[in-house]
Amino acid sequence: MKRFLIFIAALGWFSCENSESDIKALSGKKIQKDESIKVESFLSQGGVVKARLTAPVMLRVMAQMGVDTPYVEFPKKLHVDFYNEQKMVESRLDSKYGRYFESLNKVYLRDSVKVISIKGDTLTCDDLWWDQSQQKFYTDKPAKLRSPDNFIDAKFGLEATQDFKDIKFKEVKDSRILTEEGAVPSGQ
């Protein structure tokens, strides 16, 4: 019986050995992700629908090593229709990637970002922030705005209201008035 107990104790002693990396892997912070497919989501403020978002994939990330702020990620692409007070679409947004920081109420967009207003203004850039609380777009990266009658290329970005009624460009690199056919008049 004594030998049996020594054998069991020895078996337990040798089987419980873990390397330091195994212990860190088991006890370290884990990324908690929820995945949704074919997403359709509505944003409302004060009971009024302000936007409709669609995306093929949405990831909700709860905790990540070194990041305290939970976020929602759209890794494949996203589309947003923004509504005015009359519940009509006032602008549309498309991007290949987006990340919504819940606690900041801001969305970071990158890779082929395009915003089109109902007036036909089209903003294109590689990098854009949308402040949901202030209903404003902004970027410090190059941005181009083409409207039915002009073209503006901003070297260091812009700030714009969501409906494009107020736009401030940062160091305009190129600005042209367009003809009715959408071409630049000769001599410019």
What pLDDT, on a 0 to 100 scale, did the predictor assign at position 103? Answer: 84
Angle in degrees, CA 114, 138, 146, rounded to 5:
45
Residue with more model confidence, 172 or 95: 95
Structure-token match 């509504």, residue found: 83
Sign of CA dihedral 86, 90, 93, 99: negative
Radius of gyration of the chain (CA): 26
* Per-chain mean pLDDT for the chain: 80
Query: Following DSSP, what letter does each residue of 149-187 receive, concatenated?
Result: SEEEEETT-EEEETTSSSEEESSEEEEEE--TTSPPPTT
Let me know: does 135 contact 109? Beta carbons within 8 Å.
no
Pull the structure tokens for residue 33. 């992700």
What pLDDT, on a 0 to 100 scale, did the predictor assign at position 11? Answer: 45
Does the pLDDT of residue 88 top 70, yes or no?
Answer: yes
Residues 6+ apart with CB under 8 A from 87: 49
Does the pLDDT of residue 97 top 50, yes or no?
Answer: yes
pLDDT per position as a tens digit, 102-157: 888 899 999 999 999 888 889 999 999 999 889 899 999 999 999 888 888 888 99
For the entire predicted model, the pTM comes to: 0.72
Domains and CATH numbers, the chain: 33-177 (2.60.450.10)
- Sorting pLDDT into bands at 50, 70 and 90, what band is 77? very high
| HSE (side-chain half, CA atoms, 13 Å) at 7 | 4
User: Phi and psi for 63 in degrees, rounded to 5?
Assistant: -150, 135
